[in-house]
């Protein structure tokens, strides 16, 4: 665990810098819409019996005219998995349950049904193994082919810089992961999802960290463009109803299937930060 201390600190610093840049970009969009909405940041500390340094994070939430609710969280936590959970985590076991995790997680629910909602996260974890994971996926209540293609193109380019197989592998993984089996529908129009990019040595860590940074940069570049394209479109009651029903599906996925939700709950994370992904309003028919 200790051999990755400097790398964990470097990843943490990057995630915090990315958060600040994303939040500034989103606040700039609110200003363009005539809104003074800003992120409110709430620090939280994790508690674990017998652990003097369990870590914590900062929950950032903004509710505005364009972003009905957007959360951007950064956390860095240290500790031990519960025995019954340890065996499900890469490199952990009942005999070696220790872990460190640092990452950024973002979910944006938009006021205008024509503007796609979005999810993005990247993370670095160490157990007896060390690896990066993350991705981003677009979740439009009213899909536009132009938006879908531009979103995928941004991540296709990010992947191509590092490995010619990444985009095909990780976009397929996103399609499989962001799926709601009990509804037999996809959560959105996909993106990329990756996990267990192993860091067997420092050169591997540097390669995987560079890729993870490019995933963050791709998101920051493409999503504000999509928001600006759609945020001024007119919408009616039927559009809003479609959005609210779609949000119900989104909530179902995050509460039933999402690994990040489970990881946060099983490691003593902040409940409000874990559940910030839930929409501010949703309906079920």
CA pair distance 230, 248, nearest whole angstrom: 22
Dihedrals phi, psi of 112, to nearest 5 degrees = -85, 125
Candidate list 109, 119, 152, 162, residue with the active-site label: 119
Tokens 């990040």: give the residue: 260
Do residues 129 and 90 lie in contact, with contact meaning Cβ atoms separated by under 8 Å? yes
49, burial (CB in 10 Å: exposed 0-12, middle 13-18, buried 19+)? exposed
Do residues 141 and 113 lie in contact, with contact meaning Cβ atoms separated by under 8 Å? yes
Do residues 139 and 277 lie in contact, with contact meaning Cβ atoms separated by under 8 Å? no
Cα dihedral 73/76/82/86 (nearest 10): 100
CA pair distance 30, 168, nearest whole angstrom: 35
Residue-by-residue DSSP string for 146-213: HHHHHHHHHHHHHHHTT-TTHHHHHHHHHHHHSEETTTTEESSS-EEEEEEEE-SSHHHHHHHHHHHH
Please indicate whether residue 119 is annotated as part of the active site: yes
Q: Is the dihedral of CA 80, 99, 6, 11 positive or negative?
A: negative
CA pair distance 248, 242, nearest whole angstrom: 10
Nearest Cα neighbor of 104 from 124, 123, 119, 78 is: 123
Do residues 207 and 162 lie in contact, with contact meaning Cβ atoms separated by under 8 Å? yes
Q: Which residues are catalytic?
A: 119
């Amino acid at each position: 665990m200790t051999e990755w201390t400097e790398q964990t600190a470097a990843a943490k610093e990057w995630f915090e810098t990315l958060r600040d840049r994303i939040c500034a970009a989103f606040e700039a969009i609110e200003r363009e819409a005539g809104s003074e909405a800003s992120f409110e940041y709430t620090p939280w500390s994790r508690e674990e019996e017998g652990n003097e340094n369990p870590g914590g994070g900062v929950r950032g939430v903004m509710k505005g005219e364009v972003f009905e609710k957007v959360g951007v969280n950064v956390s860095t936590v240290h500790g031990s998995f519960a025995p019954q959970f340890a065996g499900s985590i890469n490199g952990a076991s009942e005999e070696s349950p220790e872990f460190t995790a640092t990452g950024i997680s973002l979910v944006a629910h938009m006021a205008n049904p024509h503007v796609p909602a979005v999810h993005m996260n990247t993370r670095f974890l160490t157990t007896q193994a060390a690896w990066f994971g993350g991705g981003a996926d677009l979740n439009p209540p009213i899909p536009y082919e132009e938006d879908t293609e531009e979103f995928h193109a941004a991540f296709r380019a990010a992947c191509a810089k590092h490995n010619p197989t990444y985009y095909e592998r990780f976009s397929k993984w996103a399609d499989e992961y962001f799926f709601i089996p009990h509804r037999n529908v996809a959560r959105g129009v996909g993106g990329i999802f990756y996990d267990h990019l192993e860091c067997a040595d420092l050169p591997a860590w540097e390669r995987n960290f560079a890729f993870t940074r490019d995933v963050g940069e791709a998101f920051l570049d493409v999503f504000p463009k999509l928001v600006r394209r759609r945020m001024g479109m007119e919408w009616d009651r039927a559009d809003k109803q479609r959005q609210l029903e779609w949000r119900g599906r989104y909530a179902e996925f995050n509460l039933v299937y999402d690994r990040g939700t489970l990881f946060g709950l099983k490691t003593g994370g902040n409940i409000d930060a874990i559940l910030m992904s839930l929409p501010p309003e949703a309906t079920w028919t």
